[in-house]
Amino acid sequence: MNYLVTIAYDGSKFFGFQRLNEEMSVQKVLEEALSKINKKRVLVKGAGRTDRGVHAYGQRISFKLDISITENGLKEALNSLVKPYIYVKEVIQVDDNVHARFSVKKKRYCYKINIGEFNPLLSDYVYQSEYHLDIDKMKEVANLYLGIHDFKNFVSGERKDSRGIIYDIIFDIKDNILVITFEAKSFYRYMVRNLVGMMIEVGRGKEEVEKVLQMLDSNNSISGYTAPACGLYLESIEY
């Protein structure tokens, strides 16, 4: 049976989502728990390979089990093995052709910035800016990102194709936390953190909007700024 599962996790407690040799990863914890339940090795496919320190409200995973178990029974069994830093929110049995990664239609990531007084309790969960940020300037940069672009200068590593489409970027402020939400079909490695990084650089007055224009759709390699992982959350995924 094939399952599609929604999970949340505290990324500060893991070396990223993807399975590593000995380091603790989200995928490793899930596979070990599912293999216990299934009494046979289970491989987990994730919708997004979040990096070390990146959190998730709505990561999606898919996997196949040999045993017969109800959706609620599987949710309870998994949570008994993966808490407290991972929590299974929903379990759905799906057709065999549903794949957590390849069936995705839209992803939402959000980035959180503390624009108020420094709070040591938030250090693993938001980026705490040392500078005053001009949010209007940051919105001006965000508008440049919308639509279809070649994001080569905002992606880590070499790719044959770094083109993508961003549908929407939303700004919201509550209790001195600026939340910037990105909606797109897909995101490449470090892409959101690099997009936010240039917003921050322009917002603090270190860079001009013109540099962002130079970076977009350019064949030249132009370096920017990568925002810290702690502020990034995989919010939701649509199929």
The residues carrying an active-site annotation are 51
Q: Compute the C-alpha angle 199/155/235, nearest 5°.
A: 70
Q: What are phi and psi of 165, to 5 degrees?
A: -130, 125
Strands 163-174 and 147-150: antiparallel
Contact 193, 226 (CB under 8 A): yes
Give the chain's length: 239
Contact 127, 228 (CB under 8 A): yes
- Which pair of structure tokens corresponds to residue 176? 């001195």
Cα dihedral sign, 80-82-85-87? negative
